[in-house]
Structure 1
Amino acid sequence: MPEVIFNGPAGRLEGRYHPAKKKTAPIAIILHPHSQFGGTMNNPIVYQLYYMFAERGFAVLRFNFRGVGRSQGIYHGQDELSDAASALDWVQTINPESRACWVAGVSFGAWIGMQLLMRRPEVEGFISVAPPAGRFDFSFLAPCPSSGLFVHGDEDRVATPKDVQNLIDKLKTQKGIVIDQDVIPGANHFFENKTDELVESVGRYVDKRLAAIGETMV
């Protein structure tokens, strides 16, 4: 789990990177929750998703948005999308033979991740954990360009089940993509005491997608 520093639009960004054994292995970047509410790359969900992807042979990066930890800059709210784009650029530069890319985001990171998905056609899979559909505008997903998984808790008062369901229902009307959904019983926005169930759900989904394309796990 080597520490890495790479250039972002507002200065240096701090991350942790797990290289893949295969040169053609897929890439995954993990985006953390809201910077102003304690979100960092060491968030327990971010941390466990990072290792979930690493165990499946991905080249994985998690990093701190601007103004968090040793990352330079200050919180902006929208420019964190540029941080995520820089992170993807950096991973792609050191994995030029990678055949695929995934983005996973938690809460605010899910909002940023879905925006990145719209701008980067090479992203073929996404994981959106507790997307705050009632608090941030997701109307840019028109249409959603890639298939992916939404996972959220039925006791979430930040990303309420109704708001997330409304978002998913809109996306499911689009042709050519498959939106999966998993609702974790008893889980709140932070998945307190439910993180294992969350990571297991995401792991099953990733395994299914890898099997569908014949990708062997490492």
Structure 2
Amino acid sequence: MMEESITITGNGNICLEGYLNRQETGKALVLAHPHPLYGGNMDVPLICRMAACFQSAGIATLRFNFRGTCGSSGEFDNGRGEQDDVRNALAFLSDQGYDQLFLAGYSFGSWVNAHVVSAGVDLCDHIMVSPPAALLSFDQVEQLPNTGLIITGENDDLAPVYLIEDLLCKWKITPQMSVISNADHFYVGALDELGDILLDYLQS
């Protein structure tokens, strides 16, 4: 579906590049990409596949590059400034007239999002793909309300099922947990199954 190039302005003269797909439903999603120091950006195939699934479900999508990534200004900030990037992306959608907001992230993006959600934000739903509990600490994430779906791979060494289950017990939440057989952290050969899980969830 059609996407238009947009710029999100934030604190400290930070300008983030992104792509917005518009829908008429009032529903819109912010998508957060994986770790920029390991090649993550808004154009990785999994982020694009997730965007397509939400668009098919009638939900507008905003995928963007974190500060210091590709054409976005600023520098990588170890997840601190990136939380502001997510908040500014959500505010951008609100300014565009969307009043039902969704938040989803993959790997590092899901870790950044978790801190934003824990601190408090008005969302319809929060979705995580491969939250990297074996790589990054979630100790400062005290709660995770409105989290409806978590997806990980059976062979995902960075987001192993047992560590995610420990976090769910800590947060006292019971989202749908989908584990894709034989998939690793990069979902090579598993994007179709991931897309099917996401579409089924959004349409249920």
TM-score normalised by the chain length of structure 1: 0.86
Q: Is the 8 A contact 1:127 1:202 kept in 2?
A: no
Deviations 1:17-61 (A, max 9, x none): 001123xx2111100000100000001110011111111111210
Give the superposition deviation at 1:114: 1.4
Match of 1:15 in 2: 18
Q: Is the 8 A contact 2:106 2:131 kept in 1?
A: yes
SS for the counterpart of 1:121 is: coil
Q: Distance in 2 between matches of 1:149 and 1:61?
A: 19
Letter in 2 for 1:203: L
Identity value in percent? 28
Letter in 1 for 2:125: G
Give the superposition deviation at 1:161: 2.4
Q: May I ask how many residue pairs the two structures share in their alignment?
A: 200
Give the superposition deviation at 1:165: 2.3
Letter in 1 for 2:129: V
2:196 is the counterpart of 1:200: yes
SS for the counterpart of 2:9 is: strand
Equivalent residue runs for 1:53-132 within 5 Å: 53-77=54-78, 78-95=80-97, 98-132=98-132
TM-score normalised by the chain length of structure 2: 0.92
Q: Is the 8 A contact 2:22 2:60 kept in 1?
A: yes
Q: Is the 8 A contact 2:105 2:113 kept in 1?
A: yes
Q: Is the 8 A contact 2:127 2:147 kept in 1?
A: no
Equivalent residue runs for 1:156-171 within 5 Å: 156-171=156-171
Letter in 2 for 1:108: F
Provide the alpha-carbon RMSD of the alignment: 1.5
Unaligned runs of at least 5 residues, structure 2: none
Spell out structure 1 runs of 4+ moving beyond 4 A. none
Q: Distance in 1 between matches of 2:116 and 2:128?
A: 12
Deviations 1:130-160 (A, max 9, x none): 0011222223333322131110001011222
Letter in 1 for 2:167: L
Deviations 1:165-210 (A, max 9, x none): 2222333x35xxx4110000000000010011111111111212xx
Q: Distance in 2 between matches of 1:74 and 1:99?
A: 30
